[in-house]
Amino acid sequence: MSSSLVGWKDLPLGAVAFISAKEYPTGEWAVFQPKIDESKCIKCGLCWMYCPDSVYRWDGESVPVPDLDHCKGCGICEVECPTKAIQMVRV
Ligand code: SF4
Ligand code: SF4
């Protein structure tokens, strides 16, 4: 076995990005974004749980509210909503 293997502590420092996604309104990329019919919402939180961009704000009791400045329009929340309360609409 080769003895040239090194541990991660021996590797040189690489680039580190000190930025926050909060500063970038990626919602501008979206072609479709979610619209919630509050009358159909059972407040299950699945949209909040499944959104890959943590777009939904939810207090655990009320209807989740999407921060559309950071929604890329993937449509996962619409697919996962059990009551079809979410509809993707053209921006
Ligand atoms: S997944 Fe649908 S029913 Fe559940 S909280 Fe979200 S909008 Fe409401
Ligand atoms: S469309 Fe995608 S990114 Fe936008 S709120 Fe739904 S799950 Fe999140």
Q: Is 50 in the pocket of ligand 1 (CB under 6 A)?
A: no
Instruction: Please give the model's pTM, rounded to 2 decimal places.
Output: 0.81
43-73 pLDDT, tens per residue? Answer: 999 999 999 999 999 999 999 999 999 999 9
- For the segment(s) 25-90, the CATH number from 3.30.70.20, 3.40.50.2000, 3.40.50.720, 3.90.1300.10 is 3.30.70.20
Q: Is 43 in the pocket of ligand 1 (CB under 6 A)?
A: yes
Query: Which residues are 89's β-sheet partners?
Result: 33
Closest C-alpha residue for ligand 1 atom 1: 81
What is the pLDDT, as a whole number, of residue 1? 52
Cα of 85 from ligand 1 centre, angstroms = 6
Looking at the CA of 59, which ligand is closest? 1
| Plot region of 77 (φ>0 → left; ψ -120 to 50 → alpha; else → beta) | alpha
Does the structure show a pLDDT above 60 at 79? yes
Q: Report the distance separating Cα 47 and Cα 63, nearest Å.
A: 10
Q: Report the distance separating Cα 54 and Cα 71, nearest Å.
A: 9
Are 4 and 58 spatial neighbours (Cβ–Cβ below 8 Å)? Answer: no
